[in-house]
């Protein structure tokens, strides 16, 4: 099956061509620079930029895959959750392509797609579901932090999520307090490599809470007060590195310990992780260590597949079509608030 997938839920315009579990091409055009000026994603600008970029990105995905549009057997797009006007661009374009080609169309939940991105690897990227096993999956991005029990392919249950800020948001907002540009996550990761993670002690919110929920707004507030009380610290590069390492250590400890605990409690032997924050080196290191210690298999999404991309949308869409899930009607609407259950 040859499938075209489109992802425009936030600030990445992405198109991929998938064939039989292989990612023939996956193009991502990021709008980060555009939004950096405003310190965060501006929804209306994101939608306009998707409108500008979608056709060129689709053309280059098709041409890289060596596929003409007439060779497609199916079309998929992110249906939600996401920014409404941004979602509309990719979703309606995908429906139009399916309508013109008279081929099946399927809308995909963005978070459900994240659950399967750790199973895509290699060069060229291939989804390896032969090794699939029940797992606890951590999805950790700028908008979401959640733990999901994936019992089998296409069967999952959300265990917990953030009750306020997402982990990526915590990286970005604490970075802003330090004067770092948006998105601060990757920069904090870099600076933290030269810092001491035990230099400053920040809270580990909900670490010992029985639930699988997360909360990061208290950590952000404590960083705010810390900087207010030690303003000179920001003029000392080493101290900024120590601050980055200490904040990162608090976020990573909560993510890793809660993920491992959920995996143990649910009796799975495999842990997976995806979403933009999964690019973080300390998180990758600490999850790897913890999984080795506890005897869990670990699958981390490759860095290019951690952030938003159409390849994961296409891989999940293909599995759904092969499993004969009921197809929605072609005039289905986007679901901006679609909550993964």
Question: Token pair of 190, please?
Answer: 């870099």
Q: State yes or no: residue 275 binds ligand KG4 (CB under 6 A).
A: yes
Asked if 309 is part of the footprint of ligand KG4 (rule: CB under 6 A), the reply reads no
Q: Measured at CB, which residue is nearest to ligand KG4?
A: 276
Beta strand 120-121 with 126-127 is: antiparallel
Would you say 240 or 316 has its CB closer to Zn ion? 316
Tell me: does residue 12 bind Zn ion (CB under 5 A): no
Instruction: Find out whether the peptide bond into 81 is cis, omega within 30 degrees of 0.
Output: yes
Q: Running DSSP on this structure, what letter comes out for residue 198?
A: T
- Exactly one of 11, 213, 308, 318 binds Zn ion (CB under 5 A); that residue is 308
Residue 86 parent element (H or E):
helix 84-101
Beta carbon of residue 9, minimum distance to ligand KG4 (angstroms, whole number): 7
Of 26, 107, 183, 195, the one binding ligand KG4 (CB under 6 A) is: 183
Instruction: Report the candidate in 7, 77, 76 with the shortest Cα–Cα distance to residue 46.
Output: 7
- How many CA within 13 A on the CB side of residue 267? 1
Please report whether residue 112 would count as binding ligand KG4 according to CB under 6 A: no
Using CA atoms, how far residue 96 sits from 161, 203, 243, 324, in Å, is 34, 49, 49, 22
Gyration radius of the chain over CA positions:
20
Q: Does 171 bind ligand KG4 (CB under 6 A)?
A: yes
CB burial of 82-111 (b: ≥16 within 10 Å; e: otherwise) equals bbbbbbbbbbebbbebbeebeebbbbbbbb
Kindly state whether residue 212 participates in binding ligand KG4, applying the rule CB under 6 A.
Answer: no
Binding flag, residue 141, Zn ion (CB under 5 A): yes
Interacting stretch for ligand KG4, rule CB under 6 A, among 15-23, 147-155, 183-191, 265-273?
183-191
Would you call the peptide bond into 190 cis, given omega within 30 degrees of 0 as the criterion? no
Residue 308 in the binding site for ligand KG4 (CB under 6 A): yes
**Closest approach of Cβ 118 to Zn ion, in Å?**
13
- Shortest reach from residue 29's CB to Zn ion, in Å: 15
Q: Which of residues 172-191 bind Zn ion (CB under 5 A)?
A: none
Report the residue from 277, 290, 316, 317 that binds ligand KG4 according to the rule CB under 6 A.
277
Applying CB under 6 A, the site for ligand KG4 has a residue count of 18
Q: Can you tell me which of 172, 242, 253, 286 binds ligand KG4, judged by CB under 6 A?
A: 172
Under 8 Å CB-to-CB from 75, ≥6 apart: which residues?
Answer: 3, 4, 5, 6, 94, 95, 97, 98, 101, 103, 104, 105, 106
Q: Are 245 and 259 in contact (CB under 8 A)?
A: no
| The only residue of 21, 80, 143, 314 in contact with ligand KG4, by rule CB under 6 A | 143
Binding flags for Zn ion, 211-240, as an x/- string (CB under 5 A): ------------------------------
Q: List, edge to edge, every strand of the sheet that includes 145-152.
A: 155-161, 145-152, 135-140, 270-274, 297-300
| Cβ-based nearer residue to ligand KG4, 105 or 214 | 214
- Point out which residues bind ligand KG4 (CB under 6 A): 10, 141-143, 168, 171-172, 183, 185-186, 189, 275-277, 279-280, 307-308
């Amino acid at each position: 099956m040859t499938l075209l997938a489109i992802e425009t839920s936030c600030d990445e315009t992405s198109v991929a061509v998938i064939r039989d579990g292989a990612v023939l091409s996956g193009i991502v055009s990021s709008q980060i620079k555009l939004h950096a000026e405003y310190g965060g994603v501006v929804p209306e600008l994101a939608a306009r930029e998707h409108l500008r970029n979608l056709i060129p990105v689709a053309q280059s995905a098709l041409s890289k895959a060596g596929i003409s549009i007439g060779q497609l057997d199916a079309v998929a797009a992110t249906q939600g959750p996401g920014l409404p006007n941004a979602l509309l661009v990719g979703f309606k374009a995908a429906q139009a392509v399916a309508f013109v080609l008279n081929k099946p169309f399927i809308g995909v939940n963005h978070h459900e797609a994240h659950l399967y991105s750790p199973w895509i690897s290699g060069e060229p990227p291939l989804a390896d579901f032969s090794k699939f096993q029940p797992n606890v999956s951590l999805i950790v991005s700028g908008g979401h932090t959640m733990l999901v029990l994936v019992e089998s392919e296409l069967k999952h249950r959300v265990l917990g999520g953030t009750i306020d800020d997402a982990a990526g948001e915590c990286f970005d907002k604490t970075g802003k307090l330090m004067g770092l540009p948006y998105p601060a996550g990757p920069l904090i990761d870099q600076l933290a490599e030269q810092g001491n993670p035990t230099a400053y002690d920040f809270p580990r919110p909900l670490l010992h809470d029985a639930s699988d929920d997360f909360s990061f707004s208290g950590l952000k507030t404590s960083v705010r007060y810390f900087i207010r009380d030690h303003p000179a610290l920001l003029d000392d590069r080493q101290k900024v590195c120590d601050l980055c390492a200490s904040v990162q250590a608090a976020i990573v400890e909560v993510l890793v310990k809660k993920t491992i605990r959920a995996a143990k409690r649910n009796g799975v032997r495999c842990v997976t992780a995806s979403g933009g924050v999964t690019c973080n080196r300390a998180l990758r290191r600490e999850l790897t260590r913890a999984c080795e210690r506890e005897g869990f298999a670990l699958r981390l999404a490759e860095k290019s597949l951690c952030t938003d991309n159409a390849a994961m949308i296409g891989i999940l869409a293909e599995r759904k079509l092969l499993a004969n899930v009921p197809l929605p009607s072609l005039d289905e609407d986007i679901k901006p608030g679609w909550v993964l259950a």
